[in-house]
């Protein structure tokens, strides 16, 4: 089943870059930008993370938490976060179960090999845990502006 605007966001509990368990249900009361990305320290993912970092104060002004999710380990997330001074939480979905629950896994191919990889996706979740906007197959340039625009409408 594909998630739609208006659906309750699937709950999860994942390890963070600080080795703490974070659950979506514990974040109720804040808006959440949940973004799925393929891999730490790759050019596109680094650009996306730095764009969120550079607009972090604007997100905070909307009482909005930014959370990035990939299949990288908590230790990799810690290094990535430190290297680029990222002020938000990164979560490790090493099994890919949460990526799958949010429809962010896609068949991809690289050098003739097929694999299940993360499709760059972003979800705007309101204070009650309801999905208010979905961006699939995100193009990095201009994405932060789109997300901030959507926040102003809530």
Q: How far, rounded to the nearest angstrom, does the alpha carbon of residue 74 sit from its chain's CA centroid?
A: 15
Cα separation, 62 vs 100, whole angstroms: 28
Domain presence at residue 3: no
CATH code of the domain covering residue 22: 3.40.30.10
Domain presence at residue 5: no
Cα separation, 59 vs 64, whole angstroms: 5
Whether residue 132 contacts residue 150, with contact meaning beta carbons closer than 8 Å, is answered with yes
Q: What is the DSSP string of 3-15?
A: --TTSBPPP-EEE
pLDDT score, position 115: 65
Domain presence at residue 51: yes
Domain presence at residue 87: yes
Domain presence at residue 40: yes
Domain presence at residue 43: yes
Cα separation, 142 vs 55, whole angstroms: 12
pLDDT score, position 113: 75
Range of the domain at 82: 13-152
Q: Is 45 a catalytic site residue?
A: yes
Profile the chain (154 residues) by mean pLDDT over runs of 10 residues: 91 96 94 96 94 96 96 97 98 95 82 78 96 93 94 88
Domain presence at residue 45: yes
Cα separation, 126 vs 31, whole angstroms: 5
> 14, 22, 32, 45: which is the annotated catalytic residue?
45
Cα separation, 148 vs 146, whole angstroms: 6
pLDDT score, position 137: 86
At residue 146, φ and ψ (nearest 5 deg) are: -60, -45
Domain presence at residue 36: yes
How many folded domains does the chain comprise? 1
Instruction: Specify the 3-state DSSP secondary structure of 78.
Output: helix
Cα separation, 86 vs 22, whole angstroms: 17
């Amino acid at each position: 089943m594909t998630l739609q605007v208006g659906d309750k966001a699937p709950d999860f509990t994942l390890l963070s870059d600080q080795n703490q368990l974070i659950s979506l249900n514990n974040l109720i009361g804040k808006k959440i930008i949940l973004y799925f990305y393929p891999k730490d320290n790759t050019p596109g993912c680094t650009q996306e993370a730095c764009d969120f970092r550079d607009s972090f104060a604007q997100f905070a002004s909307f009482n909005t938490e930014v959370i990035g999710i990939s299949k990288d380990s908590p230790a990799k997330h810690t290094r990535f976060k430190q290297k680029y001074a990222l002020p938000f939480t990164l979560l490790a979905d090493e099994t890919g179960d949460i990526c799958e629950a949010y429809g962010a896994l896609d068949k991809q191919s690289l050098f003739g090999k097929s694999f299940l990889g993360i499709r760059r996706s972003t979800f705007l979740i309101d204070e009650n845990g309801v999905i208010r906007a979905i961006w699939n197959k995100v193009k990095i340039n201009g994405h932060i502006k789109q997300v901030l625009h959507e926040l102003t409408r809530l």
